A and B are shown apart, each in its own frame.
Chain A
Amino acid sequence: MSEETIYQRLEKNGVSRRDFLKLCGTLVGAMGLTVPPLESSGLPGHLLTEDQTIRKVAQALESKARIPVIWLEFQDCAGCSEALTRSQSPTLIDLVLNTISVEYHETLTAAAGHQTEENKQSIMKQYAGQYVLVVEGSIPMALGGAYCTIGGRSAIDILEEAAAGAAAIISTGNCAAFGGLPKANPNPTDAKGVWELITDKPVVNIPGCPAIPEVFTGTLAHFVIFGALPELDDLNRPVTFYGKTIHDRCLRRPFYEAGKFANTFDDEGAKQGWCLYKLGCKGPTTHNACATIKWDAGLSFPVQSGHPCLGCSEPDFWDGGGFYQGQSAPLNRPAATAVGAAIGAGAVVGAAMAANNSAQKKRAAQASEE
């Protein structure tokens, strides 16, 4: 079965050639591909058109055996899986989840208990060094990992075992990438993102809360099709999707420049669609594809529908200042007592110095009188 190519499997499932090529087109779009990644295919760049890109993808799917995916969940809410399965790009998601193929998924797998665990063990053996490991949720390190155990084993134990045989790891969602909600101050479980723990394998981060389904699938498809990971930024996020900020692509940007802001959620500015900066928008520092790919098949995204960006694709966004507090405002106000203490200390030291000086002056004056 491992020799069966992706295309053969699709054919068996009743996908026509025509539909297959359409799918390839969708994939090209999903990967945010135009030309660059194909340069490694040896063709001179200027010869590559989108048509040729689609043909390249088709060729890859026709010749490559499918790559199994093992999907682990740790300290998560399953929201990323949920977003994927409820995505409005069904053909694409179906292709990626079923055909390219998720072999083990804690929530989606029908079987349960020791049976699935055994299944996972045998996949890890059979495809050692080839499978893609997807992680959703953060890994707690406190109390020897006791905050999250599955089948009596700690998350870190399970992760290390699965990572050892993986060709690449994809961390989906802010939790797996950067620790997410569980890591929020005071981080009681000492939650960590995968890339802090696994350093000897390529780890791609697809942060978001949840990760945008098309971004996740696009990245996974890229690996499956080209056998390599896309270009990553300094936080290991694919540049294609995370290269620009929300602010860079925001439809409210002209209002930012003009200084027209909504001051509350129901004032005239809000009705006019003005910029949400004063309502706490984190768009200027948030790298993600929401403003272009959007949600629900391109219907809308938070800023478009009137809610400030929370910054969910950035590390520690839960601790990055109040969600409804302007982004330039300090992370928290110094306590009034601290300010009072500082003023008091300054004043006392100043007064003491002054007293000391005048005492000295008096002494000097006395000395000269004598």
Chain B
Amino acid sequence: MNWTTFLHFTRGPLFQVSLLIFVGGMAYRLVRVVLLGWKGDKAPAKGSKLAGVAKTYLKGFLIFPFIPWVKRTFNRNPIMYLAGGLFHLGLFAAILLGTPHMLVWKSLLGFGWPTLPLPIVDWLAAASIAAMIALLFYRRTNSLLKLLTGPAETLNWLLVFLPMVTGYIMTHHLFFQYEVLFSLHMLSVDVLLIWIPLSRISHFMFYFFSRTIHGVEFGKRGVTP
């Protein structure tokens, strides 16, 4: 076994298996959530459900802290707020707008899109990694968060952190040969893919559920958030 064969394994059979587990696992989670059922709607609606959904999403996307209601969340917890946003921004920039990643989507979906220059993705990736470290530090020191952080939360953090750092080190050709880091990057991605349906990282799907449901509820009651 050499690194090139190992890379072929992590890019080939292992990736396929991980991807199928990911897809199957997410389908399972989705069906479970959908079949939990929506309680029958007996009270007459006081407002438009659609407007409620729209407003909830708008608020979700308006992450700038100068808007009054956002400011409240922001002031309560600025580090978490900024770091969380920065982390997701860098993550999405890398996995959607980095050239190597776009090519992964292209091979899976059959179409591609323009990508960002490497230095931009790279700076965002670096910011994202720094933000992750800040988030972990905060989780470890804040007394309330400490209570909410069990092994699962730490694993969530670690299994997202590993692809981020291996990708970053690989891009900069540091410490090891490129194919070694490529293998480790792929290995960590494969593990993450298996882990996502088992964990709360599946929030990338359920986030939209909870937002939609909250929006419908808010809209129905005429309490626009």
Across the interface, B5 reaches (CB within 8 A) one of A278, A316, A351, namely: A316
Q: Is B30 an interface residue (CB 8 A)?
A: yes
A contact residues around B199 at 8 Å (CB): none
Tally inter-chain residue pairs, CB-CB below 8 A. 123
Q: Is A235 an interface residue (CB 8 A)?
A: yes
A contact residues around B148 at 8 Å (CB): none
* CA–CA, A256 and B119, complex, Å: 10
A contact residues around B62 at 8 Å (CB): none
Q: Is A329 an interface residue (CB 8 A)?
A: yes
Chain B residue at minimum C-beta to C-beta distance from A355: B35
**Contact, CB under 8 Å: B11 / A330:** yes
B contact residues around A349 at 8 Å (CB): 28
- The 8 sampled A-B contact pairs (Cβ below 8 Å) are A284-B182, A285-B178, A315-B2, A325-B103, A333-B108, A346-B28, A347-B27, A354-B35
Q: Is A247 an interface residue (CB 8 A)?
A: yes
B contact residues around A327 at 8 Å (CB): 100, 103
Give chain A nearest CB distance to B197 CB in angstroms.
Answer: 8
Across the interface, B107 reaches (CB within 8 A) one of A245, A330, A351, namely: A330
B contact residues around A261 at 8 Å (CB): 99
Give chain B nearest CB distance to A181 CB in angstroms.
Answer: 16
Pick out which of these stretches binds chain B: A98-106, A152-160, A334-342.
A334-342
B contact residues around A338 at 8 Å (CB): 16, 20
Report A302-325 CB contacts with B as 1/0, cut-off 8 Å. 000000000000111001110001
Across the interface, A328 reaches (CB within 8 A) one of B23, B26, B27, B101, namely: B101
Interface residues on A, range: 35 or more
Chain A residue at minimum C-beta to C-beta distance from B108: A333
Taking Cβ atoms with an 8 Å cutoff, the residues of A that contact B are 234-235, 245, 247-248, 256-261, 277-278, 284-285, 314-316, 319-321, 325-334, 338-339, 342-347, 349-351, 353-355, 358
A contact residues around B8 at 8 Å (CB): 316, 319-320, 331
* CA–CA, A349 and B23, complex, Å: 13
B contact residues around A351 at 8 Å (CB): 31, 35
* CA–CA, A218 and B27, complex, Å: 58
Chain B residue at minimum C-beta to C-beta distance from A354: B35
A contact residues around B107 at 8 Å (CB): 325-326, 329-330, 333
**Contact, CB under 8 Å: A328 / B178:** no
**Contact, CB under 8 Å: B20 / A332:** no
**Contact, CB under 8 Å: A334 / B20:** yes
B contact residues around A320 at 8 Å (CB): 4, 8
Q: Is B76 an interface residue (CB 8 A)?
A: no
**Contact, CB under 8 Å: B4 / A316:** yes
**Contact, CB under 8 Å: B27 / A346:** yes
Q: Is B7 an interface residue (CB 8 A)?
A: yes
Give chain A nearest CB distance to B110 CB in angstroms.
Answer: 9
Give chain B nearest CB distance to A297 CB in angstroms.
Answer: 29
**Contact, CB under 8 Å: B31 / A350:** yes
Give chain A nearest CB distance to B7 CB in angstroms.
Answer: 7
Residue count of chain B within 8 Å CB distance of chain A: 42
Chain A residue at minimum C-beta to C-beta distance from B121: A259
Other CB < 8 Å A-B pairs besides A277-B100, A284-B182, 4 of them?
A257-B118, A257-B119, A327-B100, A342-B27
B contact residues around A234 at 8 Å (CB): 2-3
**Contact, CB under 8 Å: A350 / B30:** yes
With A285-B182, A347-B28 in contact, is A278–B99 under 8 Å at CB?
A: yes
* CA–CA, A320 and B7, complex, Å: 9
Give chain B nearest CB distance to A350 CB in angstroms.
Answer: 3
Give chain B nearest CB distance to A231 CB in angstroms.
Answer: 15
* CA–CA, A240 and B104, complex, Å: 34
* CA–CA, A247 and B177, complex, Å: 12
Give chain B nearest CB distance to A277 CB in angstroms.
Answer: 7
**Contact, CB under 8 Å: B19 / A334:** yes
With A321-B11, A350-B35 in contact, is A314–B4 under 8 Å at CB?
A: yes
**Contact, CB under 8 Å: B104 / A328:** yes
With A234-B2, A350-B28, A350-B29 in contact, is A330–B100 under 8 Å at CB?
A: no
**Contact, CB under 8 Å: B103 / A326:** yes
* CA–CA, A142 and B223, complex, Å: 76
Report B39-57 CB contacts with A as 1/0, cut-off 8 Å. 0000000000000000000
Give chain B nearest CB distance to A184 CB in angstroms.
Answer: 12
Across the interface, A350 reaches (CB within 8 A) one of B15, B32, B106, namely: B32
Across the interface, A342 reaches (CB within 8 A) one of B24, B32, B35, B119, namely: B24
With A342-B20, A350-B29 in contact, is A247–B2 under 8 Å at CB?
A: no
Chain B residue at minimum C-beta to C-beta distance from A346: B27
A contact residues around B126 at 8 Å (CB): none
Give chain B nearest CB distance to A274 CB in angstroms.
Answer: 12
**Contact, CB under 8 Å: A285 / B19:** no
Give chain A nearest CB distance to B174 CB in angstroms.
Answer: 13
Q: Is B225 an interface residue (CB 8 A)?
A: no
**Contact, CB under 8 Å: A346 / B35:** no
* CA–CA, A332 and B118, complex, Å: 25
Q: Is B147 an interface residue (CB 8 A)?
A: no
